[in-house]
Chain A
Amino acid sequence: MNEKFIYLDHNATTPADLRVIEAMRPYFNELYGNPLSLYKFASKSREAVELAREKVAKLLNAEPNEIIFTSGGTEANNVAIKGVAHANLTAVRQVKKRGNHIITSKIEHPAVLKPCKWLESQGFKVTYISVDKYGVIDLDELRDAITDKTILISIMHANNEVGTIEPIEEISRLAKEHNVYFHTDAVQTVGKTSTNVDELGVDLLSLSGHKFYGPKGVGALYIRRGTKLVPFVHGGGHERNLRAGTHNVPGIVGLGKACEIAELEREEAKKLKRLRDKLYQGIMDKIPEVIFPGHPENRLAGTLSICVKYVEGESMLINLDFEGIAVSSGSACASGSLEPSHVLLAMGIPREVAHSSLRFSLGRDNTDEDIDKVLTVFPNIVKKLRKISPFGKHR
């Protein structure tokens, strides 16, 4: 069988760093106290949670009391979007402005799109902003969409499928001008690029541990001081009443550690970019009729999204899997769905081409040999599949 498993799906999830696992270990059965209990033993857990909060805050250049822990990126997005929307309906004082209008984009992760859809069913109005062929938000359309009823803009920092990085600073200027809260889903950028909340100018920012070598099932929401949210998980008074439920102490400790490690590994993006560009160049040279969605420069260092004309995505994915190479076609979260990627369609890519999509996302453990292996087997896979394809007749 295959000598080595080659994992090229780091935008879907990453392996937990050994240092993260070590940091978490004591909090399962040694220091297992409930952080809210009053005896000394439990204070160890409380301190661990607060230390983790400081580490998350440091990575974002935020204050610890501006961070709440959640069960991941999905929940952070839900807390932010529904929290702002509902604060607006209740008697919470000092909300920025009252209204019923939310602005987001057509290329958000379902963890933003679905809460927005749900809010539409609750009487809110949502505008979904278009993107250009690189997946960059149309700023003019965004500017024109803002009304005196707009209460929230939610635009992702980088797209999970194509890696395009959005002009967050520009959007935050628009949001400020119009006194609108601005949330960004930074699940794909935290730990990979700079996510300084003051430079970005955001009021709310979601992150998720498992996308940057932390544990799964834990994430955080940055909430700029003064931002008014109401909770939707009610229970004990955890996390400033914004997210009830006993803390996932080991997970939170692991998340904190992952943030600390991310600061140490800032050079990693350079390596990822070099390997990614090598993969890009190799595919360009060896396979005809491939297109590369995503912004040529403003893009996550490790992400390479491709559409191989005349070949369906899943059939390439399975053939790569036979070779011990793990990639995704479109978005792993959306798979099982038969519609081609909503992100690629929004970028103006024709349906049948969008059906031919594959995403390579590189990470810390990938090597030159991994890329060489892909460049050896992948062109043959495409050649073979194109023979089966009715579109491939002329070659």
Chain B
Amino acid sequence: MALEYTDKVIEHFRNPRNVGVIENPDGIGKVTSPICGDIMELYIKVKDNIIVDAKFQTFGCAAAVASSSILTEIIIGKPVKEALKITNKRIVKALGGLPKEKLHCSVLAEDGVKSAIEDYLRKAKRR
């Protein structure tokens, strides 16, 4: 398999942003790709309905790591409502494209942010 990744994907894969976990997060998303079985965990910190911090850990291919990394850049500073609307297309675009067979890896990141925000909203309700 030739590594037909864009420079942007490679750059994020080599130097992923916001790797790790957040202690006492406001929301956690743990998702598994139904396609390949790879896994992403996303932690978010929310203040006044704005995502102020995000960290991830991903077990997946280079496209999955790059998608996770760029996702955290996109969502930090965004209102929760807006972040909820982020689709994998948006992630792919930000990465300058992904090979066709790697599109599902960006879906993993989309699922990750949805799941983290849902978790946050659930917890917020209870408070």
Contact B65 A390 (CB under 8 A): no
* Chain A residues packing against B (C-beta within 8 Å): 310-312, 314-315, 318-319, 321-322, 332, 335-336, 338, 340, 351-352, 355, 387-393
* Chain B residues packing against A (C-beta within 8 Å): 1, 3, 10, 13-14, 16, 19-21, 30, 35-41, 57-62, 64-65, 101, 104
Give A328's nearest chain B residue, CB to CB: B1
The residue among B19, B20, B59 with the most chain A CB atoms within 10 A of its own CB is: B59
Contact B65 A388 (CB under 8 A): yes
Contact A318 B37 (CB under 8 A): no
Contact B3 A318 (CB under 8 A): yes
Q: How far is the CB of A103 from chain B (nearest CB, A)?
A: 31
Chain A residues within an 8 Å CB radius of B64 = 312
Contact B58 A338 (CB under 8 A): no
Contact B3 A321 (CB under 8 A): yes
Number of cross-chain contacts by CB at 8 Å: 59
CA distance A59 to B106 in the complex (A): 51
Contact A336 B60 (CB under 8 A): no
- In the complex with contacts A388-B65, A390-B39, A312-B1 CB distance below 8 A: no
Instruction: Tell which of A315, A322, A336, A388 touches B101, judged by Cβ atoms closer than 8 Å.
Output: A336
CA distance A340 to B64 in the complex (A): 16
CA distance A391 to B10 in the complex (A): 23
Chain B residues within an 8 Å CB radius of A392 = 57
3 smallest CB-CB distances across A and B, nearest first, come from A390-B57, A335-B1, A314-B61
Q: Is the interface of B mostly helix, strand, loop or mixed?
A: mixed
CA distance A314 to B36 in the complex (A): 13
Give A340's nearest chain B residue, CB to CB: B37
Q: Is the interface of A mostly helix, strand, loop or mixed?
A: helix
Chain A residues within an 8 Å CB radius of B35 = 338
Chain A residues within an 8 Å CB radius of B19 = 387-388
CA distance A347 to B41 in the complex (A): 29
Contact B58 A314 (CB under 8 A): no
CA distance A312 to B66 in the complex (A): 14
Instruction: Tell which of B13, B36, B37, B58 touches A389, judged by Cβ atoms closer than 8 Å.
Output: B58
Q: How far is the CB of B9 from chain A (nearest CB, A)?
A: 10
- In the complex with contacts A315-B65, A318-B3, A322-B14, A390-B40 CB distance below 8 A: yes
Give A313's nearest chain B residue, CB to CB: B61
CA distance A340 to B65 in the complex (A): 18
- In the complex with contacts A351-B37, A388-B16, A315-B61 CB distance below 8 A: yes
Chain A residues within an 8 Å CB radius of B101 = 336, 338
Chain A residues within an 8 Å CB radius of B13 = 315, 318
| Apart from A312-B38, A340-B37, A390-B58, 4 more pairs, CB < 8 Å | A312-B59, A312-B61, A318-B62, A393-B21
Chain B residues within an 8 Å CB radius of A315 = 13, 60-62, 65
Q: How far is the CB of A75 from chain B (nearest CB, A)?
A: 23
CA distance A75 to B19 in the complex (A): 48
Chain B residues within an 8 Å CB radius of A314 = 61-62
Give B60's nearest chain A residue, CB to CB: A312
Chain A residues within an 8 Å CB radius of B62 = 314-315, 318
CA distance A390 to B60 in the complex (A): 10
15 contacts between A and B (CB under 8 A): A314-B62, A315-B61, A315-B62, A315-B65, A318-B3, A318-B10, A318-B62, A319-B14, A338-B36, A351-B37, A355-B59, A388-B19, A390-B30, A390-B40, A390-B41
